[in-house]
Amino acid sequence: MNKEDKQYSGGQSEGTGEVVPLRIASTAQLARIIDAAMLRPQATRTEVEVFLEEALLYNFGAVFLHPTWIGDARQIVKGTPVKLGIAIGYPHGAHLTETKLAEIDQGLEMGADEFDMVANIGRLRSGEHMSVAKELERCRRSVEDKIFKVIIETGWLSDEEKRLAAHIVADAGADFVKTSTGVTAPGATAPDVALLFEAIKGKTGVKASGGIRSLEQTLELVKAGATRIGTSSGRIIVEEAKKNL
């Protein structure tokens, strides 16, 4: 371990002014905060195309896919309000930094608008905080002016580690700290979202992801402080909202 890893001096990220959770006033507003995900490795081209057509129909905020489908998806969503997102370092975050940077560069070339990257959880849990921070800063610069979200996999972290991770993410200039990949359990929980929301106090957004399958869950997470919802059940959630919002 590097000596400097014990000397991370961040963790003081503060927003300005009072920050309150988002309030959902309409089904259309709800759809726009949904990041619809199709990250099953066995998904076929036909399944991806159906997924994208559904995303356009419901006008979701963004769609997220594995890198192999980004170029194809760009042709389908271009000229629409639906943003194109790419998963980086997915699902475990243990890639070399250079590999993550290469994925980002390729994503930019293919036209990705948003980048959801998994942090190096093992180094974070090892106390190598400066190493994690430097990787995030390099990747943030590489993403340029695109939206950058960092997944910290809350299910693997203590509350203290979650707070520190949120500060490292915010200090690196990320646009969102994201709870989970959805690959491990548990996924997003309202207590974890509330903890992250309170920790960063509006300096960056909070994206809840992992195991979100109902309108009730979604509204609970938004009430706790989430401003983006990552889910593969966007259609179900919006259809519920049409009947209940």
Which residues belong to the active site? 116, 178, 207
Cβ pair 118, 144 in contact under 8 A: no
Please give the Cα distance from 221 to 199 (Å, whole number).
16
Please give the Cα distance from 226 to 218 (Å, whole number).
9
Which residues are within 8 A (CB) of 20 and not within 5 positions of it... i.e. 6 or more apart?
A: none
Q: Quick check: helix, strand or coil at residue 148?
A: strand
Please give the Cα distance from 154 to 157 (Å, whole number).
5
Cβ pair 169, 152 in contact under 8 A: yes
Please give the Cα distance from 214 to 237 (Å, whole number).
5
Give residue 245's identity as a one-letter amino acid code.
Answer: L
Q: Quick check: helix, strand or coil at residue 169?
A: helix
Please give the Cα distance from 193 to 25 (Å, whole number).
20
